Structure 1
Amino acid sequence: MPKGLSEKDLGKFKLVGNVDSFKRKLVFQVTEISLEKDDYFSRLYLYDGRKVRPFTAGKKDSNPRFSPDGRLVAFASKRGKDGKEAELYVIPTDGGEARLLAKFKYGLQNLRFTEDGKSIAVVTPIDIEKKPRDDVHVIKEIPFWFNGISWVYGKRSVVYLVDVETGRKKRVTPKNLDVSQIRFHKGKLYFTAQEDRERKPMVSDLYVIEGRKAKRLTPGKWDVSDFIPLGDGTFILKANTRERGIPTNTHIYHYDPQTGEMRKLTKDLDRSAYNSLNCDVRGSQRAELAFKDGWVYYIATDGPRANLFRVNLDGKIERVVGGDRSVESFAIGDYIVFTAQDAVTPTELYVLRDGKEKKLTDFNGWIKEYALSEPEHFKVKASDGVEIDAWIMRPVGFEPGKKYPAVLEIHGGPKTAYGYSFMHEFHVLTAKGFVVIFSNPRGSDGYGEEFADIRGRYGERDYQDLMEVVDEALKRFDFIDGERIGVTGGSYGGFMTNWIVGHTKRFRAAVTQRSISNWVSFFGTTDIGYFFAPDQIGSDLWSNTEAFWDKSPLKYAPNVETPLLIIHSTEDYRCWLPEALQFYTALKYLGKTVELAIFPGENHDLSRSGKPKHRVKRLELIAGWMERWLK
């Protein structure tokens, strides 16, 4: 029988990302997954226009940036003995030792050279008020914690300028602003930041430092995630106006701060200006806006694809790097460089020069030794006439005439998408003899705002779409055993798994992961609950308590007949642990078949960036549960 991917093959993947360019040179990050040491190790590689070679030897080197003259590369690392403090290094591109410039207690989130190359701007969190010396948390604001970070109350991300020669650092942005993106233009520092993440959690503005003060340039009602200053005092913005709440697409705009005029350049493409495809073996994605020869370059999710597009100031849009794949990150020097993957090819580095594409790396060439199931696309015409993209993956070693069990996979978000990106989990299941069914039901990204907007209607049209996808798969593919189908999903997909087992008995087994079971508890205990829940339910808890409960899978626990495995993590602050505990307790109390697996020290991103051994164990639990009940 052909050899398929196993859970432990996770340790073979090389995660390629964080690319930067200077003329013909490229620098990028490669991360290795070590099952033996249960950790991730990353180093930088350099492409000089002829060949790719290792550039740094550090075990935790990341986030490289060229200096304006291309002579240096700045990068973040954790080479200290305790491995906790983030460190800023510079290294000459023509060879030599890396030199430590500065250390930062709470991490290094972003960095960029000043235009003269004499300093490096670093975004790092700081305590904005003196913390008590004991271990008692005295909290005065929300959010008080954030997934993957832990406690965030009393902290803000600020910008320090670090002198390249001396390493001296100086804070240049005020403590009240939570900074994210930074750029320099004509000697000035521009940046995006949140001012009031408690009352305006979905608003981020553009600022400029003038003298010692920060001046806000946008009106305090948009979410600006990236920008490019232009020579005439106007700006390219990557922004979300939130006119339709969270389902609103992020677009590219031309903005004049003097007149307040905001023109949507990408109005002819109703797609989000970022990559929202799901992947569980993804490298770091640096996909910042780039401006060259009058064109703005950006990545957008177009159905099941994430492609590189460009738009000019007249609103003309062109697809630059297309195909059934996921463009992950990119940079533009003398030519376009990008990282990309597809459903059977993990991420590698490519260049596009004079219209010709060339693959530069083969870090994941080992994958060719394995038998992989290629997703087969089919369209499902939903009962209301809307077409839904769906796929099946046949088991490895498929034999015509044989009946196979199947697993329905449901993505998170809900405003993300499945498509032409690599899912190790799917390949593990097909290697074990399962058909995998997946789709992009209503709520998914990549199909326009109307398609994505299921606010106030969770468990309605999205649920119907999923059931109709299964119906159509059974009609089209007679090798699927309709009596042996399981379902699983994480985050929103976990919510929907919980919803499904409370509303139908058609599935023989289910695994819910990092899920919501109760919108009431989700609202008050999680990092985004206080704004995400009212937006998605359509009201707040006090004006419509009934809706919060009606949309909670916990309400329907007495209906559950499907054997359910609940997977959750102790530090999942996106969907906190009580979401799993109360659903498990309710089902146990009611005499249902249920088990609970809790991963200590992990967060909402267990499946993507958890400790390698935990990630393997998670896959073993999912596959084992399906084998137990479907075989």
Structure 2
Amino acid sequence: MKKLNARDLSNFKLVGGLDVYKKKVVFTVSEINLEKDDYFSKIYLYDGRKVKQFTSGPKDLNPCFSPDGSLIAFTSKRDKENKEAELYIIPTDGGEAKLLTKFKLGIREYEFSPDGKTLAVITPVELERKKKSEDVHILKEIPFWFNGVGWVYGKRNHIYLVNTESGRKRKLTKGTLNIHTLKWSEDGNKIYFVAQEDREKKPMITDLFVIDLKTKRIEKLTDSKWRIGDVIPLEDGTFILRMSTLERGIATNTHIYHFNPETKEITKLTAKLDRSAYNSLNCDVRGPSRDTIVYKEGWIYYIATDGPRANLFRVNLGGEIERVVGGNRSVETFGVGDYIVFNAQDAITPTELYIVKDGKEKRITAFNDWITEYKLSKPEYFKVKVSDGMEIDAWIMKPVEFKEGKKYPAVLEIHGGPKTAYGYSFMHEFHVLSSKGFVVIFSNPRGSDGYGEEFADIREHYGERDYQDLMEVMDEALKRFDFIDEERIGVTGGSYGGFMTNWIVGHTKRFKAAVTQRSISNWTSFFGTTDIGYYFTPDQIGGDPWSNFEGYWEKSPLKYAPNVETPLLIIHSMEDYRCWLPEALQLFIALKYLGKEVQLAVFPGENHDLSRKGKPKHRVKRLELIVGWMERWLKR
């Protein structure tokens, strides 16, 4: 059988976001084209019997049924000369797609009105128009840029109404409200939306608003205390909210709540399950997903990260919770029609489409059956009881051509976040390393999502218990698995995992090679240069650089650069506004100045999502660099 390599990235079919109407399902399938160094996507339709290609592409996404199921709207970029986002509509029975309108700065979200005659579209809008010849950026607010988006100063997300017959559009909202998501009222006379009121002073707060379509009067329904992610209006004037109360800052789990705007009373419906109400598992071959909650027949359906798995749950207004789709896998997105439909993957199976009907599950697609021709290493679970008594989930992947009695080099992988998780989702990177003869070890240390708020809360304690957990996982792996060569162990991770890689090489000499990716090296510069630094750092490290300068420096890996003896490869993207390039440059220059073994690989035109959404050729190059560095230092 074949062994998976970096260039096999082009084989993956990214089965993505879906919508359902009765028995019909529309979804996207994206392809990774190495030759053209680009992504291409088409929309497919499942009619309850078979799957067929529905649009020709090349970049059709985000399909959505009209309320009566007769039409499908979708976004696209079919005009190669025009960079604007295009909004199309097509009859469900087939025919030519009709271009309704275009939006200069993209389409964030859209939804049909109850009568199907109007689409409410959220799109970025410039508050002040710049002269076309003007190339100077005059900044008056923060954040002024955002990862994966670029310059955001002077822009806000607003709502436009688009007629589904004529394509005529009109702007509904204005001002500095920054709108995230919306829902129509049942009678079509109002739109409820979630928005930031002050993204500079209160960047973590979002509120619920309602706008009357006749008067354009906007009313604020919440009191600027919460971080609301999604909303469902109910017939009695109350709401279902997916939100975080921020009691533990960013470490607070997102839950499903019932909210009464008259009494301001909120009820946590998912109180019995201390888990985040979304999918936070890591994956590097994930398709576009629609992160949604659905209300049907008294139940609210939602995805939650439960340890190393993401499952579909439902909860009623009485707080009764049921697991609807379980198993050691990652449910990516879902819909509820005449049956439940969902996309899912696991550690050795890329994403496909499934349905659950009459309690029986059926797989509908086979876009990634090519993977059966490859020999993969299936992660083996082991539990580690660490020194403070907590149990940590961990996994080991043997080399693909594993032989008893032989010693192998190993790589410890560390996830980002820190409030994400590893588990039963597909990681191309892990399979490439195991196919190259490496043992791969990964785990969910303190700070990870899926194990409750207390477990996830490492605020002001970065590099402490989380670091200990990782080292004790490594100790247990060496104790249990005698095929690991303890003299040939490497470590790598990205974002928070990059911070932790930097921290590790400054605090131990046990690793013989390290690759740090999109990392943080200095909390003070991170605070002052990145898109989220000005609120993420005070929340996670405590205070600000003026009130807690010593604390910021104490938790900065750059402080410990003189201790580094591990050969380090730094991988960073030039347009990574989440962890800006200076984080890599400072560490690289410091280590070179100190005479350490270090290299820096800078990827132009890429951002923080290089490993997941970067240009295909760059993604392959990144994997080749990681494998090459580990082979150089662990196999010689």
Q: Which residue of 1 aligns with 2:143?
A: 143
Q: Which residue of 2 aligns with 1:416?
A: 420
Give the 5 Å matches for 1:317-466. Answer: 317-466=321-470
CA deviation after TM superposition for structure 1 residue 538, in Å:
1.5
Give 5+ residue unaligned stretches, structure 2.
none
Query: 3-state DSSP class of the match of 2:617?
Result: helix
Tell me how far apart the structure 2 counterparts of residues 58 and 316 of structure 1 sit (CA, whole Å). Answer: 43
Letter in 2 for 1:124: T
Q: Which residue of 2 aligns with 1:129?
A: 128
TM-score, length-scaled by structure 2: 0.98
Tell me how far apart the structure 2 counterparts of residues 68 and 420 of structure 1 sit (CA, whole Å). Answer: 35
Give the 5 Å matches for 1:212-227. Answer: 212-227=216-231
Query: 3-state DSSP class of the match of 2:29?
Result: strand
Kindly indicate whether residue 8 of structure 2 is the aligned counterpart of residue 9 of structure 1: yes
Q: Which residue of 1 aligns with 2:167?
A: 167
Give the 5 Å matches for 1:565-580. Answer: 565-580=569-584
Tell me how far apart the structure 2 counterparts of residues 130 and 49 of structure 1 sit (CA, whole Å). Answer: 48
Aligned to 1:590, which of 587, 591, 594? 594
CA deviation after TM superposition for structure 1 residue 539, in Å:
1.3
1:439-476 per-position Cα deviation (integer Å, ceiling 9, x unaligned): 00000000000000000000000000000000000000
Query: 3-state DSSP class of the match of 2:627?
Result: helix
1:178-199 per-position Cα deviation (integer Å, ceiling 9, x unaligned): 1111111221111111110000
Q: Which residue of 2 aligns with 1:155?
A: 155
Aligned to 1:548, which of 552, 557, 564? 552
CA deviation after TM superposition for structure 1 residue 321, in Å:
0.2
Letter in 2 for 1:96: G
Tell me how far apart the structure 2 counterparts of residues 602 and 17 of structure 1 sit (CA, whole Å). Answer: 22
Query: 3-state DSSP class of the match of 2:606?
Result: coil
Tell me how far apart the structure 1 counterparts of residues 129 and 58 of structure 2 sit (CA, whole Å). Answer: 33
Tell me how far apart the structure 1 counterparts of residues 329 and 55 of structure 2 sit (CA, whole Å). Answer: 30
CA deviation after TM superposition for structure 1 residue 431, in Å:
0.2
Q: Which residue of 1 aligns with 2:562?
A: 558
Kindly indicate whether residue 308 of structure 2 is the aligned counterpart of residue 304 of structure 1: yes
Q: Which residue of 2 aligns with 1:50?
A: 49
CA deviation after TM superposition for structure 1 residue 287, in Å:
2.7
Kindly indicate whether residue 471 of structure 2 is the aligned counterpart of residue 467 of structure 1: yes
Aligned partners of 1:415 and 1:443 also within 8 Å: yes
TM-score, length-scaled by structure 1: 0.99
1:463-517 per-position Cα deviation (integer Å, ceiling 9, x unaligned): 0000000000000000000000000000000000000000000000000000000
Q: Which residue of 1 aligns with 2:111?
A: 112
Q: Which residue of 2 aligns with 1:194?
A: 196
Q: Which residue of 2 aligns with 1:29?
A: 28
1:413-436 per-position Cα deviation (integer Å, ceiling 9, x unaligned): 000000000000000000000000
Kindly indicate whether residue 63 of structure 2 is the aligned counterpart of residue 67 of structure 1: no
1:558-591 per-position Cα deviation (integer Å, ceiling 9, x unaligned): 0000000000000000000000001000000000
Give the 5 Å matches for 1:201-280. Answer: 201-210=203-212, 211-280=215-284
CA deviation after TM superposition for structure 1 residue 305, in Å:
0.4
Query: 3-state DSSP class of the match of 1:346?
Result: coil
Q: Which residue of 1 aligns with 2:626?
A: 622
CA deviation after TM superposition for structure 1 residue 83, in Å:
4.6
Aligned to 2:296, which of 284, 289, 292? 292
Tell me how far apart the structure 2 counterparts of residues 324 and 73 of structure 1 sit (CA, whole Å). Answer: 33
Letter in 2 for 1:149: V
Letter in 2 for 1:523: F
Query: 3-state DSSP class of the match of 2:619?
Result: helix
1:284-307 per-position Cα deviation (integer Å, ceiling 9, x unaligned): 111311011110000000000000
Aligned to 2:537, which of 523, 533, 539? 533
CA deviation after TM superposition for structure 1 residue 216, in Å:
1.0
Aligned length: 630
Letter in 1 for 2:404: P
Aligned partners of 1:285 and 1:329 also within 8 Å: yes
Letter in 2 for 1:473: A
CA deviation after TM superposition for structure 1 residue 175, in Å:
2.8
Aligned partners of 1:250 and 1:273 also within 8 Å: yes
CA deviation after TM superposition for structure 1 residue 540, in Å:
1.3
Aligned partners of 1:192 and 1:204 also within 8 Å: yes
Query: 3-state DSSP class of the match of 2:355?
Result: strand
CA deviation after TM superposition for structure 1 residue 130, in Å:
2.5
Tell me how far apart the structure 2 counterparts of residues 318 and 457 of structure 1 sit (CA, whole Å). Answer: 35
Aligned to 2:285, which of 256, 263, 281? 281
1:361-396 per-position Cα deviation (integer Å, ceiling 9, x unaligned): 000000000001000000000100000000000000
1:96-154 per-position Cα deviation (integer Å, ceiling 9, x unaligned): 00000000001111111111100111111010112244110011000000000000000
Tell me how far apart the structure 1 counterparts of residues 89 and 543 of structure 2 sit (CA, whole Å). Answer: 50
CA deviation after TM superposition for structure 1 residue 176, in Å:
1.6
Aligned partners of 1:295 and 1:310 also within 8 Å: yes
CA deviation after TM superposition for structure 1 residue 621, in Å:
0.1
**Structure 1 range deviating more: 297-306 or 282-291:** 282-291
Aligned partners of 1:3 and 1:431 also within 8 Å: no
Letter in 1 for 2:254: T
Tell me how far apart the structure 2 counterparts of residues 379 and 510 of structure 1 sit (CA, whole Å). Answer: 25
1:525-576 per-position Cα deviation (integer Å, ceiling 9, x unaligned): 0000000000000211111100000000000000000000000000000000
RMSD over aligned Cα, in angstroms? 0.7
Aligned partners of 1:174 and 1:214 also within 8 Å: no
Tell me how far apart the structure 1 counterparts of residues 102 and 490 of structure 2 sit (CA, whole Å). Answer: 49
Q: Which residue of 1 aligns with 2:617?
A: 613
- After the TM superposition, list the runs of 4 or more consecutive aligned residues in structure 1 that deviate by more than 6 angstroms: none
Q: Which residue of 1 aligns with 2:502?
A: 498
Query: 3-state DSSP class of the match of 2:628?
Result: helix
